[in-house]
Amino acid sequence: MREYLLVFLIAATVTYLGSGLCRRIAVRAGAVAQVRERDMHTVPIPYLGGLAMFFGVAAAFVVAVNLPFLGRLELVRHDAWAVLAAAGVICAVGVLDDLFELNALAKLAGQILAAGLVVALGVKMLWIPLPDRIFTLNDASSIAITVFFIVLCTNAVNYVDGLDGLAAGVIAIGALAFFSYAYWLTWDQDIFRATTASLITVAAAGACIGFLPHNFTPARMFMGDSGSMLLGLLLATSAISLTGQIDSTRLVDSGAERAGGLLPAYLPLILPIAALALPILDFSLAFVRRTIRGHWWWVADKQHLHHQLVARGHSHRNAVLLMYVWAAIISFGTIAIGMTGQWTTLILLAVLILIIARLTIGPLRRSRPAG
């Protein structure tokens, strides 16, 4: 655990210190978010926060693979370098978009390139749990599902990046939840504590925490696509790598007395979705909404979840904090259900959801009648 804490602090510190430098580079290079009709900020804000986050993650990975505990396993070292290479590609695509505003197809091509690099370097989905057995994927299915999952997560985080501090905070919470589960799983299964999933998620959480002082409202800089796509790739690959390092059949056996024996095996795939529940929900709603209106899914609008919260009367800060709470309830609540499988956990979670739902819906503005 001490080495994981060191990785977290390195990612946070390098990101925090690097953000100031990247902000100056963004201003000189013209990578600045101008004010558009759909945006929530009112003055131009520099991009390239994602570049600082990449530096933080890269520094954390370099240190980690040279530590006596985390660097001991060849599989962890290999997967870490593979993910870092893909992260560099997708961050570069994001930087180009922040500078030159690439079209949607160009960004999609960059995302597929990064996902393809991950697969080519051997990090891919290996199995899918079914109610009565574990389904092992063949090469073609493994490649297709891995690429799709990475592209989905990448775009989902990109869509939720709409308020100061929103994406960084939500992903930090999701990453910490996933790290907690991955570390607990190694303890529960009595296997070696070092996994690629734990390394990726703790580094991603550190980078997000290090960036938040620059990004929380009022933001001094944005992560831009270089950051949102980077975070999506990191969470996706953390889930994918876990399927190659955990024996899911043992999860079913050890969980037979907990949650019916099925949920523990599903958690490695469910939890990444739970950690990204708000971004994925926002992305799905936007896709449906724009399709119904006859628009392409990448045509931006001002009806995302965070826009709806502000429209209901929440301040920017309160809207972001509410999204944080929802992210924590969904991600950590999923872990609690998987670990305990008890009705009391479900009841407590339901009560929390009702309370937060009331606070979320609460301050709806109503116009007063004339006269």
Between residues 114 and 260, the one the model is more confident about: 114
Q: How far is the C-alpha of 123 from the C-alpha of 143, rounded, in Å?
A: 10
Is there a contact between 235 and 280 (Cβ–Cβ < 8 Å)?
no
Q: How far is the C-alpha of 215 from the C-alpha of 218, rounded, in Å?
A: 7
In the block, residue with structure tokens 């929900």: 281
Amino acid code (one letter) for 45 = I
Nearest to 210 by CA among 33, 75, 47, 15: 15
In the block, residue with structure tokens 């079209």: 103
Window from 45-49, 86-90, 355-359 with minimum mean pLDDT: 355-359
Q: How far is the C-alpha of 182 from the C-alpha of 186, rounded, in Å?
A: 7
Is there a contact between 28 and 58 (Cβ–Cβ < 8 Å)?
no
pTM: 0.82
DSSP H helical ranges for 165-315: 166-188, 196-215, 224-243, 248-254, 263-275, 277-292, 305-311
pLDDT at 251: 57
Is there a contact between 96 and 88 (Cβ–Cβ < 8 Å)?
no
Window from 139-143, 323-327, 349-353, 361-365 with minimum mean pLDDT: 361-365
Nearest to 254 by CA among 197, 331, 318, 191: 191
To the question of whether residue 139 is assigned a binding role by annotation, the answer is: no
Window from 53-57, 133-137, 148-152, 193-197 with minimum mean pLDDT: 133-137
Is there a contact between 79 and 241 (Cβ–Cβ < 8 Å)?
yes
**CA of residue 347 relative to chain centroid, distance:** 27
To the question of whether residue 39 is assigned a binding role by annotation, the answer is: no
How distant, in Å, are the alpha carbons of 109, 124, 152 from that of 141? Answer: 20, 10, 16
pLDDT at 369: 43
| pLDDT tier for residue 58 given thresholds of 50, 70 and 90 | very high
